[in-house]
Amino acid sequence: MSEHKINEMVTLITDESGELTPEHLEVRVGKELYDWANAPKDARLEVVGSGIVQELKDIKEAEENLNQYESLENQEFNKMEAEKSDVVPAKKETTWSRPMKRVQQAVERTLQQIPVSMQDKQVHDLTPEDIRKYICPLADEKEAFMFLKLCQARGLNPFTKEAYLIKYKQGQPASTVVGKDAFTRRAEINPQFDGYEAGIILRNESGDLERREGTFLMKSEVLLGGWAKVYRKDRTYPFVSEVSFDEYAGKKAEYVDNKPTGNKVLNSMWEAHGPTMIRKVPLVQSLREAFPGELGGLYDMVEMNTEEVY
């Protein structure tokens, strides 16, 4: 496995095969790690624009997107300037002008390369066409409509990364997933919320089964799963959830000498941060059971993608 630093925020990671094709790549954005197909669009565009991975199959599409967003951004700027003054506005210097300025500026100015006017839209003002254009181009009209209605009903903003509509390719159903922070924020708003406990289930050095709060794990210990308890002021007992590590751990195809073995191995995120990843699964489940009115029907990405298939 090797890493290619793109800028302060984005790092490209290749697996042991060293191949620079989407199925062998992962992208780290800040502290979050994504498979290539699931990485934020602005991060993928920056990787492609860096020139490191010219072999990527979607480089042509990425370049077209860059030009498209540059044009949209200029149009929005000119429109706003024209409304302020009768003077013809000067052309705005864009983030995506050539030579490309690295994603450090792009991260500050855009969320997934969406025009500012679109980011400022309230959720109730969005349309299914907006969802298909800016969030998930592969989604069909029905999938975009259902995702939009869920966001409107739950007050989720897809442009602030509270909700994602994910579809890897045509013919496969789209999945709606919600970030863990969206679960905890909505629980805290409820006046009956009374806190939570969460941690990992492990086999310690003595061979005993232990439920430990937090995510600390020694190398000599075996990670078995995660647990969580969510408390409500109007309930006598907490909402408890326990899950198995093997059931939810993210996996990818194993390659030897650039050839698939047919086996699955942990992806780099689960291998490096297994305790953190498995802890949030039961926490999300317990929060959903404790507050079905606010969180019913919402799922974290780990719950929807238990195993990556290449």
Per-residue pLDDT tens for 83-141?
555 544 444 443 333 333 333 343 344 344 444 444 445 677 788 888 888 888 899 99
pLDDT higher for 199 or 12?
199
What string of DSSP letters covers 11-59? EEEE-TT---SGGGEEEEETTEEEEGGGS-HHHHHHHHHTTTTTT-TTH
- The per-residue pLDDT for 172 is 83
Q: What is the mean pLDDT of the chain?
A: 77
- The per-residue pLDDT for 35 is 85
Helix (H, G, I), strand (E, B) or coil at 146: helix
pLDDT higher for 185 or 290?
290
**For the chain, what is the radius of gyration of the CA atoms?**
22
How does 247-266 read in b/e, with b if 16+ C-beta sit within 10 Å? ebbbbbbbbeeeeeeeebeb
> pLDDT category, 13, cuts 50, 70, 90?
confident
pLDDT over 70 percentage in the chain = 74
pLDDT higher for 142 or 79?
142
Task: Average the pLDDT over 240-251 and give the result.
Answer: 93
> pLDDT category, 156, cuts 50, 70, 90?
confident
198: burial class by Cβ within 10 Å (0-12, 13-18, 19+)? buried
- Report pTM: 0.54
Query: What is the residue extent of each domain of the chain?
Result: 1-117, 121-178, 181-297
> pLDDT category, 81, cuts 50, 70, 90?
low
